[in-house]
Chain A
Amino acid sequence: GAGVSQSPRYKVTKRGQDVALRCDPISGHVSLYWYRQALGQGPEFLTYFNYEAQQDKSGLPNDRFSAERPEGSISTLTIQRTEQRDSAMYRCASSSGQQETQYFGPGTRLLVL
């Protein structure tokens, strides 16, 4: 079946612009995670949704970052007023339950010029 999909795969933007990154989880998966992965590093937790509820946003770096999952399926990670330090790979993962295996998407590579 289809895995986790993310769009766009690549995003180049200018400093100060807002960007929206989309995650489409595996059908039926109730748990959704966002991670950020810098080059040569492991993924770093950003936020977690259980259905539509954002249960943990402790990893979001600052208030320019926000995420939503209004219908408990597709999720959007929004970065406002982007800065060069926001450049990274943003990965989404979903799982069938809170303690179940996380399946990662291919990621969105964000480059802020």
Chain B
Amino acid sequence: QKEVEQDPGPLSVPEGAIVSLNCTYSNSAFQYFMWYRQYSRKGPELLMYTYSSGNKEDGRFTAQVDKSSKYISLFIRDSQPSDSATYLCAMSGTFSGGYNKLIFGAGTRLAVHP
């Protein structure tokens, strides 16, 4: 079993839809939770960063962390065709010695069609 599980999709939604992306994890020592966006033929870029449990909002994006359920989510409101990309969840914890040894999910491919 992988430490981080993520449904690879693909997920296809119409423009303007609310998108929900999720990851589950098994290591209770994870404390830092991130969402990266990866466009085709590009490197991942950080989208959202959350420490421990709770919600964080940034424009159309909301990240949620539920440590009790070992479940994290990314919501995209009013989705746009430019949001079409692969979304990767990533996690780390202080167990790694103070640096961000990221453990990634497999990524979910999202397509937003006009």
A43 lies within 8 A of B100 (CB): no
Does any Cβ of A come within 8 Å of B43's Cβ? yes
A102 lies within 8 A of B88 (CB): no
B44 lies within 8 A of A99 (CB): no
Which residues in A have some Cβ–Cβ distance to B below 8 Å? Answer: 4, 31, 33, 35, 40-45, 48, 50, 55-56, 91, 93, 95, 98-107
How many whole Å from B40's CB to the nearest CB in chain A?
Answer: 12
Residue of B nearest to A48 (CB): B99
A4 lies within 8 A of B49 (CB): no
Residue of A nearest to B46 (CB): A101
Give B77-114 interface residues, CB cut-off 8 Å to A: 88, 90, 96-107
Complex Cα gap A62–B49 (Å)? 32
B100 lies within 8 A of A56 (CB): no
Q: Is the interface of B mostly helix, strand, loop or mixed?
A: loop
A105 lies within 8 A of B43 (CB): yes
Complex Cα gap A10–B97 (Å)? 33
- Interface bracket on B: 20 to 34
Contacts of A41 in B (CB 8 A): 104, 106-107
A102 lies within 8 A of B102 (CB): yes
A-B contact pairs, 26 of them (CB 8 A): A31-B100, A40-B106, A40-B107, A42-B6, A42-B88, A42-B90, A42-B104, A42-B105, A45-B101, A45-B103, A48-B99, A50-B99, A55-B97, A55-B99, A56-B97, A93-B43, A98-B99, A98-B100, A99-B32, A99-B98, A99-B100, A102-B102, A103-B45, A103-B46, A104-B45, A106-B43
B106 lies within 8 A of A104 (CB): no
Residue of B nearest to A91 (CB): B43
How many whole Å from A18's CB to the nearest CB in chain B?
Answer: 25
